[in-house]
Amino acid sequence: MTWTFDPFDYSTPPVPAFFSDYTPVDPPFDPASSFWPGGVYGIAANPQLGHSLWSAIEDVTGDGNMVVFNGSPVQDALVWGADISGAAGSEYTFSFWYANVFPASPAVLALSIKDSNNHEVQLPGLFSLADLAQWHRFSVTFEAPAVQFAILLRNENNILAGNDFALDDFQFASVPEPASFAITGAALLALGLMLRRK
């Protein structure tokens, strides 16, 4: 099970719909007004199209879009979330690319998972970088708490001045069974069949 998207060019199998506490801004963008309020996001090829003070950068692959956010002043505002159908107890990897687009007060992003009973667990690691206009990939592996669960990405920095960032190329994938384990399992099965025949 794998899905990826380069915001938001949906692949096969379909990427689940995402949700956010941020307000979407639709193009055409105005660099003097579009992304200036806190707590908004938009899909753009260049952050500077919607905010004249932001860095001009390309998306990770150089041929598409990114999601650009003006940090929300609301504490722990949900940046991005998606409902997932998986297998309880199985391991999955979730990754994304992150870049600051303004030098002041970088975002502090935290990942968590929430099951259908609204039990939420924060995953290890907070993602925050001080450099500007440089893409960095973050990845975390976790065990699915249930068949239906949500992946949640929040911003723990609610300072309105600065706190502007871009995300790109989200990916969610099941972790394959290690080859050594699979071979061992096959060997044990063969041994069991031999013993039953005796």
Closest to 172 (Cα-Cα) out of 63, 9, 16: 16
82, 150 in Cβ contact below 8 A?
yes
Buried/exposed 22-54: b ≥16 CB within 10 Å, e otherwise: beebeeebebeebbeebbbbbbbbbbbbbbeeb
Please, what's the largest Cα pairwise distance for the chain?
Answer: 82
pLDDT computed for residue 34 by the predictor: 95
- State the pairing for strand pair 66-70/40-44: antiparallel
Instruction: Determine the Cα–Cα distance for residues 192 and 35; give it in Å rounded to an integer.
Output: 64
Number of neighbouring beta carbons within 10 Å of residue 18: 17
Which domains are seen in the chain, by residue range? 2-197 (2.60.120.260)
Gap between the terminal Cα atoms of the chain: 41
pLDDT computed for residue 136 by the predictor: 94
46, 26 in Cβ contact below 8 A?
no
Per-residue pLDDT of the chain (198 residues), as tens digits, is: 455 555 544 343 444 568 899 999 988 999 999 999 999 999 899 999 999 999 999 998 877 888 999 999 998 889 999 888 888 999 999 999 999 999 999 999 999 999 988 899 988 877 788 899 999 999 999 999 999 999 999 999 988 888 999 999 888 888 885 543 333 333 333 333 343 444
How many angstroms separate the Cα of 122 from the Cα of each of 9, 99, 113? 28, 22, 6
Q: Can you spell out the DSSP letters for 33-93?
A: TTT-STTEEEEES-GGGT-TTS-----SSSSS-EEEEE--SSTTEEEEEEEEE--TT-EEE
Amino acid at 56: A
